[in-house]
Chain A
Amino acid sequence: MAKPSRFEELDQAVTGVLLHPDAPLPADPRLAPLARIAAELTSLPRPAFRARLKSDLERNAPMVTLKESTKHEEAKQPAVNPIPQGYRTVTPYIVAENADGLIEFLKNTFGAEEKLRAIGPAGGRHADLRIEDSALMVGGGGAGLAWKGKPIPSAFHIYVPDCDAVYQRALQQGATSITEPADQPYGERSAGIKDAAGNHWYIATYKGPNYKWEGAPTVQPYMHPLRAGPVMTFLKQAFGAQELGRHASPDGVIHHLMLKIGDSFMEMGEAQGPYQPMPAMYYLYVPDCDAAYQRALQAGATSLSEPADQPYGDRNAGVKDAFGNQWYIATHVKDVAPGQ
């Protein structure tokens, strides 16, 4: 029988250390120092945890500022966290003619979890869903519902462990293909599908230690404006968005732009081919809804609804930007029982 290689021998020592971190190290002087390093690494923190905690702290930092600035104005002191547990700054809101059908599609294709399904004040469906770490709201019509409105589909970049399998599952669930799975030069394998409600899903698996890059949320909203620059300017002025990077071709077309609002990542790619503008709807949690509403109007948005307290515990207002996107700007002010 051949002598095991030093790679094999070290792996046996590593396996031992992982099972019993306090077990004696190998006597072999070539392997012992490496096994010692391995023993130290048994408590190596998970990169995803490190990134998530940083993101949580970034999200909470404005609350600390808010607390400080209102220290002497007790009446204004928020009684609850302005961003409710489980939400980020931006939550996409999809409106579909068959909201119930879309919910089933999201559950069957992406493993979405249903947190709430209720009838909204306009007689239509309202549902809160979660796909892993990302919240999603779905509204609209369905069998037996009185809702009459216009669908508002959207586009998303979604990270999954196996792009090919999820792509196939989406097709089985009635979606149509935009692009078949393929390896991309930017280190992802990705595919595109359109669901029956018209939403685009860019299904991706990151090629790295995890199926999404460190700190990435599972679902990121994706915009396809005619021109990315003016949208970015609006988002900066209205919501303090930060541009994280852009990729443009020599003719100036922006193929990809990454931005962050609060703790939420969003992406843009200027309209081309099958990727045409899809003015979307977003629910945006901020520490001070009234101030953000005013800033959005100053940045050129028009009002859909003035700030008002809602029965579900949020104070919110609605604006429409010059590109057709609707933003419901909210501050959570009171905890209420689920479903109310």
Chain B
Amino acid sequence: MVARAPASQQPPEQTDERLLVEAAQKDPARFADLYEIHFERVYAFIARRVGDRDAAEDLTSDVFHKALANLKRFEWRGVPFGAWLLRIAVNAIVDRSKRHGREIAVDDPPELSTRPGLQQVEDRARLFRLVDELPKNQRHVVVMRFAEQKSIREIAQHLKRSEGAIKQLQFRGLENLRDRFEVLKGDRPKKNVTTKKEKKKSGGRNG
């Protein structure tokens, strides 16, 4: 099984991905490798359209379960595996909106990164993966604040730190994410970003 792909890596080349898909088609236990690569992208795509967190989780779960069950049917015809997953996601969102009696506008995702909406999804997925690369304390605060929607006070109580310290970690975490994201997008040279190692050397307490 591959480790969770760091955000600084570009999505794998199609040939690599093709090998992963073929491996998973032979041995479904290898589907976990594809999940690691595509989870953030699928989740970001769905969350952007449905807003509600519980619904986004249900639909993401639905997409990956369907993909696993139908993996043998996926054929390489020049369409990336990620686009196939987003196609399943579109269908799942449309089905859900029909069940709830609502009309919903959903982009058609034939190719990744070719439409502005999809580029935004791709950026957001990269940002989500970057959270994993933050120094531990900043990561904890960012995850609790945004993913778990906890208040500063709740986070301070949980981590046994002052509210001021948590706000500072939140600031550093967001600053760090902005810097890393700009490097990733090529808007900023890499040397301007403080890595965990450099921070340690300079004695930064809030990591």
Contact = CB atoms under 8 A, between A and B. Distances in A.
Do these two chains interact?
yes
Contacts of A33: 178
Contacts of B145: 14, 18
Contact of A41 (B127, B158, B167): B127
Given A37-B177, A37-B178, A46 B147 contact: yes
A68 to B, nearest CB: 7
Interface size class of B (residues with CB under 8 A): 35 or more
Interface of A: 5-8, 10-11, 14, 18, 33-34, 37-38, 40-47, 49-50, 53-54, 56-58, 60-62, 64-65, 68, 207-210
Contacts of A57: 31-32, 35, 64-65, 68
Contacts of A42: 146
Contact of B142 (A7, A44, A53, A210): A44
B57 interface: yes
Interface string B21-43: 00000011101100110011001
B29 A61 contact: yes
Contacts of B71: 64
Determine the main DSSP class of B at the interface with A.
helix
Interface stretch (B84-92, B110-118, B168-176, B196-204): B168-176
B65 A56 contact: yes
B28 A62 contact: yes
25 contacts: A6-B171, A8-B167, A14-B174, A34-B178, A37-B181, A40-B127, A42-B146, A43-B48, A43-B56, A44-B146, A45-B43, A47-B143, A49-B57, A53-B61, A54-B36, A60-B65, A60-B68, A61-B28, A62-B28, A64-B28, A64-B69, A207-B159, A208-B140, A209-B139, A209-B143
B40 A45 contact: yes
B139 to A, nearest CB: 8
Nearest to A161: B158
Contacts of B72: 68
A34 B175 contact: yes
Nearest to B44: A43
Nearest to B63: A53
Interface of B: 27-29, 31-32, 35-36, 39-40, 43-44, 47-48, 53, 56-57, 60-61, 64-65, 68-69, 71-72, 123-124, 127-128, 131, 139-140, 142-149, 152, 158-159, 164, 167-168, 170-171, 174-175, 177-178, 181
Given A34-B175, A64-B69, A10 B167 contact: yes
Contacts of B40: 45
Contacts of A61: 28-29, 31-32, 68
B121 to A, nearest CB: 11
B130 to A, nearest CB: 10
Given A11-B167, A53-B64, A45 B147 contact: yes
A7 B170 contact: yes
Nearest to B160: A207
A47 B44 CA distance: 14
Contact of A53 (B60, B127, B128, B177): B60
A38 to B, nearest CB: 6
Nearest to A7: B167
A46 B145 CA distance: 11
Contact of A10 (B32, B60, B149, B174): B174
Given A18-B149, A65-B27, A43 B124 contact: yes
Nearest to A42: B146
B176 to A, nearest CB: 10
B177 to A, nearest CB: 5
B127 A7 contact: no
Contacts of B159: 207
A299 B159 CA distance: 46
Contacts of B143: 44, 47, 209
Nearest to A65: B28
